[in-house]
Amino acid sequence: MEKGQRVKVYRMRDRVSKGIAEKLGKTGIIQDYKITDGSGVGLVVLFDDNSSTWFFEDELKVVE
């Protein structure tokens, strides 16, 4: 996955706050990468409502 790609949140690994859980099924654009604490690289996603948060790559699918 690369910066600028449109992605859809299709699952979440862990329990998350209500605000983040509401992003399930939403689409956004990859803005940046985030180094996590040994679990790999995260992807920062910007959504249409101008909010952003990061996800692991296996939580996202590229939207064609």
Domains and CATH numbers, the chain: 6-62 (2.30.30)
Question: What pTM does this model have?
Answer: 0.88
Residue 24 tokens, joined: 């399930």
17-61 pLDDT per residue, tens: 888 889 999 999 999 999 877 767 899 999 999 999 999 999 999
Estimate to the nearest angstrom the gap between the alpha carbon of 50 and the chain centroid.
13
Residue 14 tokens, joined: 């862990």
What pLDDT, on the 0 to 100 scale, is given for residue 9?
A: 96
3-state secondary structure of 59: helix
Q: Does the pLDDT of residue 2 top 80, yes or no?
A: yes
